[in-house]
A and B are shown apart, each in its own frame.
Chain A
Amino acid sequence: MTSDDPQDFAAEARRFLDTHARKAPDRATVAWGEGDDSMAYFSSLPPEEEAEHVRRARAWQRVRHENGFGWITGPPEYGGRGLTPVHELLYASVESEYDVPDTGVLGVVGLGMIGPTILAHAQPHIKERWLPAMYRGDAIACQLFSEPGAGSDLASVATRAVREGEEWVLNGQKVWTSVAHHSQIGLALTRTNPDAPKHRGITAFLVPMDAPGVEVRPLRQMTGGTDFNEVFLTDVRIPDDHRLGEVDGGWTVALTTLMNERDTVGSEGAGPVAAALSPDHLSALMRATWTWDDRALRARLAELLVDAMATRYLNTRAQRTLRAGTAPGPERSVAKLMYGQNLTRAAHFVSECLGPRIIADTGRWGTYSWAELLLATPALRILGGTEEIMKNILAERVLGLPKEARA
């Protein structure tokens, strides 16, 4: 039996999860010295393990889909459940109590951002072709937005698309493309009118990643791993029905994508990284490193926890607002900004508790492993919009300050 009532829905989710998954172990208790001490924020798996990780993600998404939880807010004609964001939040909160495969490779960009964009802007047969496949876990999508010359200033994309009859020919280079190496489709922003003002000469296309001329080259980031890619587009031919939105109307499409950017960066950060902002874990670390009575470190810990917990309250309240049916204010942007800073400060705080044990691996549990998080933190103040751009947006959109003179 299914019902839209939130309580019935949560109960249904629980029944589904009880059947298909195991309860997660209690994450609140800290067993110092036991278990996996990995502090990886980005994936650092060898290729064959990563392939297995992706396979498991796809398989779990399929199980969700078959049981009505694959696309909770999506319209039924494309395999969605037709419910509200509140139901989606509810499901996420119930699922977090269970030990299920991490589906970030599908969810963060594809299901969270590209799916809603296709739904809003694609032709019906394109929606039918891709949306059910994406939410069933068959198709992974990536975002072909940034370029070497268009980072914060995204509207200066230079990848060209030139019309030839019923087709478009794409040429250019994209960069920082997460999950491109696993993707079946990408959403590309291209320049179709170089003479128009930059926001008005952009067109968006869905690019099948197996089309001739699409080449994905992994980028190695400063952590040593390869989570994102460069994507080269050389004479890639795309049928006109793969265009999203109007010709030269791609900026509107891009805004849909960016507005659907989930607060994955601002949220608590599932998995091992949550330990970095956990009072219990940090206190256990201070005891293990004999620093618990260091007054300077205690003051820094308190300052860090104040910010981390206030950020958590901000997220809680944004969710409550959403549940009450009101549009949240700037809470999620602020939370994202704070999350990057909090995790950065946490990594440096921990490093100072550890001392030399984080600069050379002595083999001791829970020490050198923090280097992975430390090296990942600079990205958190850049990805999804740099801190500086986020501040411009807050000041201009929330406080109404005037824009700067822009080229």
Chain B
Amino acid sequence: MITDDSGLKELRSSVREFMEAKSPEEAVRKLMESEPRFDPEVWAQASDQLRLPGLAIPEEYGGDGFGLVELGVVLEEMGRALFCAPFFSTVLLAAQALLASGDRDACARHLPGIAAGRTTATLAVAEDDGSWDPALITVRARSDGDGGWRLTGRKCFVIDGTTADLVLVVARTVAGPSLFAVDRSATGLSAEPLPTLDATRAMARLTFDAVPAVLVGTDGAGGRVMARVLDMASVGLAAEQAGGARRCLEMSAEYARTRHQFGRPIGSFQAVKHKCADMLVQVELAEAASREAALLAAEGSADFPVASAVAHAICSKAYMVAAMENIQVHGGIGFTWEHPAHLYFRRAKSSQLLFGGPAIYHERLLDRLGI
């Protein structure tokens, strides 16, 4: 772990510099309307120059062996820049699922490619209703009698699902939900891109028609893997949200300082000033909760699952508040297509609901607290 602040600061400034150079607003807008939704050249640079995909992958699998604290710094910066890349799907979903499975062979097979940036990957859990409840998994896995498996059914909301080289799938066997690895080019797998509220994060529907698959980890252990991935990915998402919320706050404060009406900067009116202060409060809480949760993960603390649920909830709310109020502070200009405020609004709403939304994450917190 990079324990000293200066190490983390260095990491942050190099990632920010990269984002400013490679993911300015024009680049984001261009990629939003392209297929794939990311620039393979920039992805290769992020992998080769900054070694970002391998940052939190254990050294034995070709990564640099850091954890959520360092990933959090990177994700805050990516969230701030609305960076379009298969980072979240590959590193927070797929790699975490492989690690959580405890399947050393699968890890050794897939993680080095992920760490090097050669392989992109994703995790397909939710189906048509978007739920992450293991009990609602309907995609079936049947043994082909030869040690292999065949998957049949449909997955939805799969992030980067049309481009990922490796698709990890939670499917149901007689033993219950289980994790499987499927190759992008497997016969019987088709992927269809979905129109998305947030165009900076691509999603797809995957249809499985007796697709050959390899069991990852223990048959029937998929529910446990999902819970672990959800805890880890929620904190990653929270960092992205905190970074995006901070950017919204900065845009609002800058505008409130410089935009004049009635002969004064609008930030001198208490109604606007207090709105900005409310945003600041949310952003401070969001950063504290996501960073603290990351630290507890790195320490292997028993408090981590609770902290993860808190971070997911507060960061979802903070980002939504910041993105909404940012538009309000800007007035009419904030409602235009040309202004970036709506890009953050779209990302904020889509992140808030990605794993089910408030009703789900509130119950998840109470469940983690034993209430």
A contact set with B: CB distance below 8 Å: 279, 282-283, 286, 292, 298-299, 301-303, 305-307, 309-311, 313-314, 316-317, 324, 326, 329-331, 334, 337-338, 388, 390-392, 394-396, 398-405
Contact = CB atoms under 8 A, between A and B. Distances in A.
Contact of A401 (B253, B285, B317, B363): B253
Given A317-B292, A338-B285, A402-B257, A391 B278 contact: yes
Contact of B362 (A282, A302, A391, A398): A302
Sorted nearest first, the 7 A-B pairs with minimum C-beta distance are A302-B362, A401-B267, A391-B277, A313-B292, A314-B288, A283-B371, A399-B253
Contacts of B205: none
A392 B273 contact: yes
B259 to A, nearest CB: 11
Nearest to A392: B273
28 contacts: A279-B369, A298-B363, A301-B371, A302-B363, A305-B365, A305-B366, A309-B307, A313-B285, A313-B292, A313-B307, A314-B285, A314-B289, A331-B288, A390-B277, A391-B274, A395-B273, A395-B280, A399-B249, A399-B277, A400-B253, A400-B257, A401-B256, A401-B267, A402-B257, A402-B267, A402-B268, A404-B269, A404-B273
Most buried by A among B278, B293, B362: B362
B167 interface: no
Nearest to B265: A402
B37 to A, nearest CB: 32
Interface of B is mostly: helix
B12 to A, nearest CB: 15
Interface string B291-317: 111000000000000110011011001
B224 interface: no
A303 B276 CA distance: 22
Given A299-B362, A306-B314, A399-B280, A283 B370 contact: yes
Given A305-B310, A400-B257, A401-B276, 14 more contacts: A282-B371, A299-B358, A302-B366, A305-B366, A306-B362, A310-B285, A310-B314, A313-B288, A334-B281, A401-B256, A402-B264, A403-B268, A404-B268, A405-B268
Contacts of B273: 391-392, 395-396, 401, 404
A30 to B, nearest CB: 12
B284 A302 contact: no
Contacts of B313: 302-303, 306
A310 B293 CA distance: 10
A353 to B, nearest CB: 13
A383 to B, nearest CB: 18
Contacts, number: 130
Contact of A306 (B281, B288, B291, B365): B365
Contacts of B265: 401-402
B270 interface: yes
B368 to A, nearest CB: 10
Contact of B274 (A317, A395, A398, A405): A395
A175 B310 CA distance: 41
A405 B311 CA distance: 39
A306 B249 CA distance: 21
Nearest to A391: B277
A313 B281 contact: no
B290 to A, nearest CB: 9
Contacts of A404: 268-270, 273
B129 interface: no
